[in-house]
Structure 1
């Protein structure tokens, strides 16, 4: 495998996005016209089917308009309504804590970038040196610039956002941060687009080591498509590490259409069981929780809208590893932290704290997670060593 400094992003493959397809879509007659043509030739027995077609069409049109409204509400809320993070009405976008090591790096972030940033916590894993990192919904660029420092001069960071006002802040401070870090050339770029379509921004299959996202996935009207795109661009063994707002129940669509509730990262909050199912469909059968904090809704107007729903800020890590089981199983494996980061200990997740030099029994999934980097696929390269013997063969 070539060194990370030799990895470059290739443009989207021909045919993924083209004017011919768009032209065909634009010239195609609306679905309702087909219904009218069919209705003109139908018998009385065909009426129920025609009614079904009409209901399907109306549903599709409503869904399309709803998705468009969600994106427009997000653009307006973060692009013009919010001037600084002090304008937020809840703590949903800033409930997660920031690790001590990352807090120190924030001192080297320009104050204008910090002021315009609306994320929760700072979802950046350890061991990023030389990696290609994709920051979804990068906003003013705070996490992208921190990642720029962590990946080093030979790493690459790509920030993606759909709000031009936020991108303008990030792009205006690239040179300032590169000079601050002592880099000869910029290792971070910012691209305009939606996170549901990373191919349109030239982000190729299996080109990213780590994908991070800070309180952004909840803002998407099509979370399943976002996750599909993430796992498309991740390399084998790559990692999704993200903070977001979760809810203890599915929320009604009216909250997703409320600009204020949506913009405060509550209206689109993810139901954790839905996320589990979506990840499983993509082959990720096991995710790990890094941090969990309940969000307190102190704004009376917003509290009245959300009712008894409880919201949580969670930081999750998920690996693109096909061999994961749907539950932890004991195959007689152990893992030993080599002390290559913190000299004392390393935290894989809430339930796995490793002391340097001390072997610890781990399940098959944990062994797969910590072993992937040994094969040159990052994850936790040179941090942990996994060893043991199989107690049985997998089907």
Structure 2
């Protein structure tokens, strides 16, 4: 089973909305087994991943809420189905802003309590693309339930925390255009 809704096809869908250039520095946040890192490398990107519990040599141990990368050192941050579980999407997005170069991209698909794009805009990102992909999440979640996957326990906790609120799944692509103070 894929570790995020849509698997590689969804990752390619995210990437088709931006211009990839060989040698771009890319960072996969919540990279797990490193599938996305390997895909980014196949496009000629200088890619690495960060995860609290890395399961691949392509992924470094680290916390995307406190990245060990210099400010304005990355061209592309990508995260799929990870920021929400951190319980602090705003901090994760802010860290992406910090490490991204001007003109850098944040490609995000994640559970969304309804304000994911707003958080990105408030942080300073220009939204280039936004799609409701809740149907993709439902398909993924049902498959996870069927297979008794690890993600189900996390989602059950989130359901309790957000009881009564509708949680969707949104793809948002943003670009760092200018300084956050503007």
Normalised TM-score (structure 1): 0.36
Higher relative contact order (Cα pairs below 8 Å, separated by 6+ residues):
2
Q: Is the 8 A contact 2:127 2:172 kept in 1?
A: no
Q: Distance in 2 between matches of 1:291 and 1:149?
A: 28
**1:273-284 equivalences in 2 (<5 Å):** 273=115, 275-284=116-125
1:225 matches 2:91:
yes
Instruction: Say which SS state the counterpart of residue 272 (structure 1) adopts.
Output: coil
2:42 paired residue number: 149
Q: Distance in 2 between matches of 1:276 and 1:94?
A: 19
Q: Distance in 2 between matches of 1:320 and 1:289?
A: 16
Greater shift, 311-320 or 136-145, is seen at: 311-320
2:6 paired residue number: 96
Q: For the structure 1 residues 309 and 283, does the alpha-carbon distance in structure 2 shift closer, same or farther, using more than 3 Å as the test?
A: closer
Q: Is the 8 A contact 1:138 1:159 kept in 2?
A: yes
Q: Note the alpha carbon deviations across 1:216-235, whole angstroms, 9 max, x for none.
A: 01111322221111001111
Q: Distance in 1 between matches of 2:33 and 2:7?
A: 19
Q: For the structure 1 residues 160 and 96, does the alpha-carbon distance in structure 2 shift closer, same or farther, using more than 3 Å as the test?
A: same
Q: For the structure 1 residues 313 and 136, does the alpha-carbon distance in structure 2 shift closer, same or farther, using more than 3 Å as the test?
A: same
Q: Distance in 2 between matches of 1:195 and 1:238?
A: 17
Q: Is the 8 A contact 2:126 2:175 kept in 1?
A: no
1:314 paired residue number: 170
1:191 to 60, 64, 88: 60
**1:34-113 equivalences in 2 (<5 Å):** 85=1, 94-96=4-6, 98-99=8-9
Q: Distance in 2 between matches of 1:191 and 1:242?
A: 20
1:137 matches 2:30:
yes
2:11 to 122, 144, 150: 122
Instruction: Say which SS state the counterpart of residue 170 (structure 1) adopts.
Output: coil
1:160 matches 2:50:
yes
Q: Is the 8 A contact 1:96 1:291 kept in 2?
A: no
Stretches of structure 1 lacking an aligned partner (at least 5 in a row): 1-84, 87-92, 100-120, 172-188, 247-270, 324-395
1:238 to 97, 104, 107: 104
Q: Distance in 1 between matches of 2:111 and 2:122?
A: 21
Normalised TM-score (structure 2): 0.72
**1:197-276 equivalences in 2 (<5 Å):** 197-198=66-67, 201=68, 203-246=69-112, 271-273=113-115, 275-276=116-117
Aligned length: 159
Q: For the structure 1 residues 222 and 236, does the alpha-carbon distance in structure 2 shift closer, same or farther, using more than 3 Å as the test?
A: same
When you count strand as a share of all residues, which structure comes out higher?
2
Q: Distance in 2 between matches of 1:226 and 1:125?
A: 20
Looking at CA atoms only, which structure, 1 or 2, has the larger radius of gyration? 1
Stretches of structure 2 lacking an aligned partner (at least 5 in a row): 146-151
